[in-house]
Structure 1
């Protein structure tokens, strides 16, 4: 039960005044970092600026209150931007709300069913491929605002988008791009001046002042959205229908999976920094509740944000109190200062997201993966290009299916079936000789088949091929299974077919060194009764001794007699 307990409960037991002040300080700093990102991500996702803050406030508060990590900071992230934009374009704001709530429900179910530990089995080339693909897509989506291009409607598809950019290059605004470059320079250079206050915030303030002071012809949040609301988020229920759910369930699943991966990766990274251990299933449940409430209060999908979580740790945050303070600080900013956001240039927000895209591109990891096996490189590239050119949903699906097939192929190559003749040099598990010189005349009568590796559908054909090598004189078959950790239904079927073949040819079966899982599979299928409990041996030496006795007609019952 403790694994489904929020970390807040266990961390406040020995809470000190000193830690409280550290958490408050960290929470305020993280809120300042989250402010420009939340606004920028909301606009880039196709929704109004305040919805980004609604998400950071509502979801951020719940993730810290109920989450399974001590230091996780939740809110909108770049990973969702492309998915959200696509949903808004195709289904509107109400469709986004429904998809966000559905994703939350799915995440809760994943946590209840203890899928928190399963997420880690998603192959690294897939996560790198779609993360890098998302980064490139985010970068591409910001070109219009960064350059000030005159395009009425930017296409959704990657190639169409760049065709539109190239066709509108003669409309580049010098004033706009100058402000965008200024914002980039400030963002990149500011950490040398002060690492506590984020460069993105300074860039937005500085460029807003410059644009207003010199009355520059640069598009701002105000020129695009008008007056920005500072009202508190209101609870609204969307119009759920079965048709809407049917169309939105697929993107909702993508949001749930992507959100789960990102939040748990963030939790793992933070564990390494503070020497802690997060509760993955509780974290998924908290993320699910946060997304449901974010949807009802007009927000967009949320997850654990790695950059903000790391900033929280570096500034002294060690308990969920820091995340709660972060949410409350953003609430204060929303009510008091939100109307001022209308002066922020869109090109400056584009500069912020260009830096976000660069930081999440993982280009070093992408490059490093080219030193991996060719199959991993194939998964990486296919996931990357499908993410960029087609769809993130399809990228994850294709990447997982391809990885699964390649994994099965590798496992099939690892598993082998050896046919051993009785040889005086053969040794048992203790290194002792199994066979004595005086039984060499039984070579043709007794065969030892050794299976090495998982006995599953990828290796079943090897087993059946090896059976075809049984000679006409063989009447005893010893199956050495000490190196078989597990077997599946296909392998069980092959085993059953092997018994039929041996029954037809009156070949006795002896099994040695079988492990618990394979034995349980055979037992449930009733095959242990067919073979006979007395024909299972702990060591191959015992099995061969019995085989020798049988070959000499001593106390032997033919378990394969028809």
Structure 2
């Protein structure tokens, strides 16, 4: 099988480059080799990559608007990030692309100083992330409390859901119909067809329907320019001096921190979903290298995207590096050679898929009455504070930092109140 041979050659090179591997990386490479040896698993992972690539497109295009760059720039950067992290990252099956959290950081700098400062800021951020990985500082992320992690996941599910609402709410009956049909296909088809991912079936069937019926609906092409072809290397247009450093360092530091935080939190989530370990330090260093490459050939940074990772891991059952390699290659093919075809995909169909992703992202177990009764009050409050801070600001970094601060403060407040209550009750007992 030519595709299998191609994947095998690529992953042999990846393993050779990582001669001294952590045990978690060895487990990941063994899983990848197992997929390459079994045609059924290889087909499943490849098809999962197709769905993941399609799920990346609307999100990446939307985030490019936030960052103040052309949609094509974000899409090409996402190709570079996805492929680079497939070989360099420490968490197989995790999808890395131009993410919204990073776009929120880059946007203010671009609006104030211009797009020419993105390249040096992204390269500096990548160097910081590499330093974190080499020094082993990425392991510190494991100290983030579980309540904060749960709040992060729940808030992200809420944000993903509300990001899809404009694509179907208050629209025509036909758009609503496509949205509902997408939900039904994604939920019911897996009961009968397991070889092909249900989201891919929904995208193909409903896109063919809208094109052949001549219906004029909002499509991916309406979200931004999708003209074919590859851009050249990004040119450095600003001088490398202290003035430039003064402009880029706050943005670079934020990119490094936010990107690492979201990537490592997502890696931790995938670890739990797949019951397999990941190498957080390799993930950090790999993300730094990938961002530098994306900066020079694309011009924008990125990090792990939890929504698309859920598509890959939960909906498509991707478990190895094959799925993300396929996603990167398919995205490259779509952006360059099949941009006109990709532009015809209805946004309501992609919205339906992402709503399912949002539902699967949210930790429903965390809000069940039985769970809440077992948890300490402080943990529940911390989770709610994290959700509220993230949803209200739309910034995952602010939400997590607020959650960690709440975890440090709230237990002390609760203990002081209990102590005060005990002191006031003591005289009554003496009487």
TM interval, shorter chain, is 0.7 to 0.9
1:45 aligns with 2:71: no
Q: Secondary structure at the match of 2:139?
A: coil
1:301 aligns with 2:341: no
**Offset at 1:338?**
2.8
* Whole-angstrom CA distance in 1 between matches of 2:176 and 2:198: 19
Contact 1:108 1:288 in 2 (8 A): yes
1:337 aligns with 2:338: yes
1:290 aligns with 2:293: no
Q: Please provide the CA RMSD for this pair.
A: 3.9
Residue 399 (structure 1) aligned to one of 400, 403, 416: 403
Q: Deviations over 1:189-217 (max 9, x none)?
A: 22223233222222222222222233323
The count of residues paired between Structure 1 and Structure 2 equals 380
Q: Which runs of 5+ in 2 are unaligned?
A: 1-18, 239-243, 418-431
Is the alpha carbon distance of 1:373 and 1:267 closer, same or farther for their aligned partners in structure 2, counting shifts above 3 Å?
closer
Is the alpha carbon distance of 1:351 and 1:105 closer, same or farther for their aligned partners in structure 2, counting shifts above 3 Å?
farther
Is the alpha carbon distance of 1:197 and 1:295 closer, same or farther for their aligned partners in structure 2, counting shifts above 3 Å?
farther
**Offset at 1:285?**
0.9
**Offset at 1:173?**
2.5
Is the alpha carbon distance of 1:88 and 1:221 closer, same or farther for their aligned partners in structure 2, counting shifts above 3 Å?
farther
Residue 75 (structure 1) aligned to one of 96, 104, 108: 96
- 2:233 maps to 235
**Offset at 1:11?**
4.2
- 1:174 maps to 173
Q: Deviations over 1:207-253 (max 9, x none)?
A: 22222233323211224435x23323543146563354255246412
* Whole-angstrom CA distance in 2 between matches of 1:190 and 1:214: 23
Is the alpha carbon distance of 1:174 and 1:259 closer, same or farther for their aligned partners in structure 2, counting shifts above 3 Å?
same
- 2:207 maps to 208
- TM-score where L is the length of structure 2: 0.73
Q: Deviations over 1:278-308 (max 9, x none)?
A: 3321122112222332333325513275435
* Whole-angstrom CA distance in 1 between matches of 2:26 and 2:315: 16
- 1:124 maps to 146
What is the correspondence of 1:92-491 to structure 2 with a 5 Å cutoff? 94=115, 101-147=123-169, 172-225=171-224, 228-237=226-235, 241-242=244-245, 244-246=247-249, 248-249=251-252, 251-252=254-255, 253-267=257-271, 269-270=273-274, 272-273=275-276, 277-298=277-298, 301-303=302-304, 306-307=309-310, 310=313, 314=317, 320=321, 323-367=324-368, 370-371=372-373, 372-390=375-393, 391-406=395-410
More strand by share: 1
Higher relative contact order (CA 8 A, sep 6+): 2
**Offset at 1:31?**
1.5
More helix by share: 2
- 1:480 maps to none
Is the alpha carbon distance of 1:6 and 1:326 closer, same or farther for their aligned partners in structure 2, counting shifts above 3 Å?
farther
Q: Deviations over 1:365-413 (max 9, x none)?
A: 2446533111111211111111111343332222112212356789999
